[in-house]
Every structure is written in C-alpha cells, then in structure tokens.
Amino acid sequence: MIILLNGPPGCGKDTAAEFIKKRLNCREYKFSAPLKSALRELLSIDSDRWSQLLAYGAKDEPLLPQGVSIRQALIKLSEEYLKPMLGQDIFGHIAVRRMKRMVSASHIVVSDIGFTQEVVPILDEFTVKRIRILQISRTHCTFKDDSRGYIDVEQLKMVPYTKKIANKYDLELFEAQVVRVLKDWELIDEDD
C-alpha cells in the first residue's frame, strides 16, 4: 500500500508519517528529496550544514544568498525551471522509479504530496486499489507562500480511498486519529 499524506506546512504530515511507520512495515519517500538534493548540490552546501538549514522552522528563514529561504528556492527551482521543462508530473515519475526500488517494504508512506498531477504517474503504475490518501488540516496552517495545495481527489477518482482528519488536539489524540484511519483501511487490526 502507498499512503500519500497531503496538507499544508506545519499540519503534522511528518508526525503522521512517524506514527504510520511505527505500526507498519513501512518505508518513507519524500517528493522533495530529489529537489532538496539538487538544490544542496547547486549551492555547494555540505550535508551537515544542509541538515541544520532544514531543521524545523529554518526552511522559511532567509538564510540563502539574497535573503531567499530554502522553501522559496525549492519552489522556484521546481515551478519555474524543472516543471516547465520536464512536465508538471515530473516528480511523480521520479517517485515511481524510486518506489519501485523499495521492494523490501510492504507499505510506502509519502509525507509531502501536494500536486494532483504528481499523483497520476503513481496511480498509473500502482493502481488506485494500492493507494490511500490522508488529507490533514490544522488551524492556522495554510498553503500561503507554498506552491502545493490539497490534491483533487475527485478528479483522481480517489474519494473512496481518501480520509480527512483535523489535527486540532494534542499529540496523543492526533496519533489516535491516524491509527483509526489505518484501522479503517484495514492495514492494522482493530486490536492494535
């Protein structure tokens, strides 16, 4: 099963991915990984410094030359260069190639899906029955200043395979919501 997590920055996607990995034989894939790797190489930033820059909250700080944040640089690289040149679904095709190499995992969780077009190659390769979407919302978390958005599950015919949760409680209750979704999808037993 491929579980796609979709929601605005700060809503809890990475936390939800950790909850899922704790309960399933699961590998994680990030759509942003190849983009972040390319940007790091372009800017010649060593991996230790890059990890510091990507620490929680630092992605939006004006840390790069000209006062540009990492998020702004990633969006520009993606939206103004790569997608116009290689197609709006390029990161979906990259994801498919990488996911096909994750054969040791029964499940894959993707914690940063944000474009409807990127889901299409995944659906084409793995079929709708092997994909689930969890859309997460949280008060005060929006897609403002981010190029991503909620994916159009109706357009993708994924409504029956989609769950929505609002992360508005404490961490324990948020985890319980994620576990409930896994049970609803019959990925874990009711007793877990």
Which domains, ranges and CATH numbers included, belong to the chain? 2-184 (3.40.50.300)
- Do β-strands 107-113 and 131-137 pair in parallel, antiparallel, or remain unpaired? unpaired
pLDDT of residue 84: 96
What's the rounded mean pLDDT across residues 56-81? Answer: 79
Backbone dihedral angles phi then psi of residue 109, each to the nearest 5 degrees: -110, 130
pLDDT at 176 over 80: yes
pTM: 0.90
pLDDT at 56 over 60: no
* Selected residue with higher pLDDT from 28 and 56: 28
Close Cβ partners of 103 (under 8 Å, ≥ 6 residues apart): none
d(CA 88, CA 14): 24
pLDDT of residue 159: 93
Encode pLDDT of 82-134 as tens digits. Answer: 999 999 999 999 999 999 998 777 899 999 999 999 999 999 999 999 999 99
pLDDT of residue 73: 87
Is residue 178 within 8 A of residue 165, CB to CB? The reply is: yes
Ramachandran region of residue 49, left (φ > 0), alpha (ψ -120 to 50) or beta?
A: alpha
Q: How far is C-alpha 5 from the geometric centre of its chain's CA atoms?
A: 5
Is residue 112 within 8 A of residue 5, CB to CB? The reply is: yes
Residue 58 pLDDT class (50, 70, 90 cuts):
low
Residue 54 pLDDT class (50, 70, 90 cuts):
confident
> Which tokens is 54 given?
């990507």
For 119-145, b/e burial (b = at least 16 CB within 10 A) is bbbbbebbeeeebbbbbbbbeebeeee
Burial of 186 (0-12, 13-18, 19+ CB in 10 A): exposed
Residue 166 pLDDT class (50, 70, 90 cuts):
very high
pLDDT at 178 over 60: yes
